[in-house]
Each structure stands twice: as structure tokens, then as C-alpha cells.
């Protein structure tokens, strides 16, 4: 039986509050960057989205392994949630990056290693979600999508290291030492905001997937009738 | 004159924040709607 707790809504409310405060700080309080000017303010949503997207992919990878080890459908429901939230964040990440690239690089998109490897992971996860729609047999669907998620997740370290391994147009990872302290607050508060939103979304989406599975795996009326007849 | 410094660009900033907010809002509404339908 799937529980109906209000906890996910609390996470969502906390996430919205953090995002509103962080965005206010990023848009109106933090100073403009020396070279990128006001366009740099896009970083206060782009970078936190990237961090949380990576967490969502790691979550999907862990729950995929969890399913293969336990064969418990709770893990499959979590996997479906992880995949969908990963796709949402990857899509946002690519769009925000594009909007930032136009005024700074002069193009909306470039097939550079970081962008290309991110797009590959986005479409891989979209493909796994499509696969789940097409396979009607629940055990087969769960195993196939868990294996496909583990294979797709191999791309995540490539995304992370791409700016170091290849000559990339995308800048390398920043650290607190390379970012001015005036930029820390909006970055961190927005990162927490998106993290809390993501937790709320994951919990609700897991509940939705579990409800669907519960309906799907319940014995059909004919079968239940035959079973009752056998027992009588 | 080309100074190497990005001038203006607020329209891009507004677009990025608006897109982020809209995406989260639309996804949240879609989740809530799908959950309600499934719980009936």
C-alpha cells in the first residue's frame, strides 16, 4: 500500500523558498562579474542545476543497482523517478547553457565535449524512459531499464572530466577559491533550493510509479476468481 | 568599441530564470495531476 505523506510537499515548499531567496540575491544583490557583466547571473541557476543533475544521475545509478540486487519493485519505482527528474534537470541545464552561450560564445550551441556528452546522457535517459513505456512485462521492464541506466551512467564521469581531458570551449570546474566570495551565497542557496525541489519531486514521482506498479501487479479479476474457485 | 566585456544581456538572464521557474512549475503541476488521477 502506497503511503500518502505530506513530507514531499514540505521539501517542495522549502525548495521554492530557497530558490526565491537565492534568485533575489543572484539577480539584485550580488555584483556583476568583471568580464561577463550581468550575464554571469545565469550561473546562479545553471551551476546548481548541473550539480543536482549529477546527483539525480548518481541516484538513478544507485537505485538501478539496488533493483538488480534485491529484485524489489520499490527500487524500480525509485528508478523511474530518478530517470524522469534527471531528464528534467538535463533539459534545463542544456537550455540555460544555451542561453548563456549566445551572449558569451556567440552561438547557441557548440559540439564541444562537455555539451555533447551531456546531450548524450540526456537522450540516453529519455531513451530508457521510452523503453519503459514500450515494455509491458513489469519484470523484464525493470531489469532492462536498470541495466540500461547503469550503462548510460558511465557517461557521467566523462561529462565531469571532459573539460580536463579535451580542449573544451566550456570552462573548467570552479572551486570556492576561484570564485569571489560575493558569488557564494546565491550559488549555495539556489543549489539547496534545487536539491530540496528535487527531493520533493523524487518522492512524489516514486509514489506515482509505485501506485502504477501496484495497479499493474495486482491480480486481474479473472485470475482472482479462478484462484478463489480453487481454494473453495 | 570591442572591450572584451559582455555588455547588457539582461534579456538572457531573465530568459534563463523564467525558463527555470516555468519548467519546475509545469513539472510540479504535471506530477500533482498524474498523482491525483492515479489515486482515484
Chain pair A-B, CB pairs under 8 angstroms: 78
Regarding predicted confidence, which is higher, B3 or A34?
A: A34
**pLDDT of residue A19 exceeding 70:** yes
User: pLDDT tier at B40 (50, 70, 90 boundaries)?
Assistant: confident
Cell digits of residue A184 = 557564494
Work out the average pLDDT over B13-35: 96
The reply to whether A88 touches chain B by the CB within 8 Å rule is yes
Percentage of chain A surpassing pLDDT 90? 71
Chain A, residues 184-203, CB within 8 A of chain B, namely 197, 201
Q: φ and ψ at B19, to 5 degrees? A: -65, -45
**Closest chain B residue to A42, measured at CA:** B13
User: pLDDT tier at A232 (50, 70, 90 boundaries)?
Assistant: very low
The reply to whether A77 touches chain B by the CB within 8 Å rule is no
pLDDT at A174: 75
Q: What does pLDDT average to over chain A? A: 90
For residue range A146-193, list pLDDT tens digits in order. 999 999 999 999 999 988 888 888 877 777 777 777 788 999 999 999
The reply to whether A41 touches chain B by the CB within 8 Å rule is yes
Residues ≥6 apart with Cβ < 8 Å to A166: A113
pLDDT at A1: 62
User: pLDDT tier at A226 (50, 70, 90 boundaries)?
Assistant: low
**pLDDT of residue B25 exceeding 60:** yes
The reply to whether A23 touches chain B by the CB within 8 Å rule is yes
* Optimal mutation site among B11, B23, B26, B31, interface A, most CBs of chain A within 10 A: B31
**pLDDT of residue A225 exceeding 70:** no
Q: How far is CA A54 from the centre of its chain?
A: 7
pLDDT at A198: 97
Work out the average pLDDT over A27-55: 91
Rounded CA separation A125/A138 (Å): 18
The reply to whether A170 touches chain B by the CB within 8 Å rule is no
Cell digits of residue A190 = 539556489
* Optimal mutation site among B16, B28, B33, interface A, most CBs of chain A within 10 A: B16
DSSP states of B1-40: ---SS----HHHHHHHHHHHHHHHHHHHHHHHHHHHHHH-
* Interchain contact, B16 vs A42, CB within 8 Å: yes
User: pLDDT tier at A216 (50, 70, 90 boundaries)?
Assistant: confident
* Residues of B at the A interface, defined by Cβ within 8 angstroms: 4-10, 12-13, 15-17, 19-21, 23-24, 27-28, 31-32, 34-35, 38-39
ipTM: 0.90
pLDDT at A83: 97
**pLDDT of residue B34 exceeding 70:** yes
Amino acid at each position: 500500500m502506497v503511503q500518502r505523506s505530506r513530507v514531499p510537499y514540505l521539501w517542495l515548499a522549502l525548495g521554492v523558498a530557497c530558490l526565491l531567496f537565492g534568485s533575489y540575491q543572484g539577480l539584485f544583490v550580488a555584483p556583476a562579474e568583471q568580464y561577463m557583466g550581468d550575464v554571469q547571473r545565469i550561473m546562479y541557476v545553471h551551476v546548481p542545476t548541473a550539480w543536482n543533475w549529477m546527483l539525480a544521475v548518481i541516484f538513478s545509478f544507485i537505485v538501478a543497482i539496488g533493483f538488480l540486487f534485491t529484485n524489489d519493485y520499490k527500487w524500480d519505482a525509485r528508478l523511474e523517478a530518478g530517470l524522469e527528474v534527471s531528464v528534467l534537470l538535463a533539459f534545463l541545464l542544456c537550455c540555460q547553457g544555451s542561453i548563456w552561450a549566445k551572449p558569451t560564445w556567440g552561438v547557441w550551441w557548440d559540439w564541444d565535449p562537455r555539451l555533447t556528452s551531456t546531450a548524450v546522457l540526456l537522450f540516453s535517459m529519455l531513451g530508457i524512459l521510452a523503453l519503459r513505456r514500450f515494455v509491458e512485462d513489469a519484470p523484464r521492464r525493470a531489469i532492462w531499464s536498470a541495466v540500461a541506466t547503469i550503462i548510460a551512467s558511465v557517461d557521467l564521469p566523462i561529462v565531469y572530466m571532459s573539460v580536463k581531458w579535451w580542449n573544451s570551449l566550456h570552462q573548467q570546474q570552479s572551486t570556492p577559491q576561484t570564485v569571489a566570495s560575493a558569488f557564494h551565497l546565491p550559488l549555495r542557496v539556489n543549489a539547496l533550493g534545487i536539491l530540496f525541489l528535487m527531493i520533493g519531486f523524487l518522492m512524489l514521482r516514486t509514489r506515482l510509479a509505485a501506485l502504477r506498479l501496484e495497479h499493474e501487479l495486482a491480480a486481474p479479476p479473472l485470475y482472482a476468481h479462478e484462484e478463489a474457485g480453487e481454494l473453495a | 568599441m570591442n572591450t572584451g566585456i559582455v555588455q547588457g544581456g539582461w534579456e538572457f538572464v531573465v530568459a534563463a530564470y523564467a525558463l527555470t521557474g516555468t519548467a519546475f512549475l509545469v513539472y510540479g503541476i504535471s506530477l500533482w495531476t498524474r498523482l491525483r488521477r492515479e489515486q482515484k
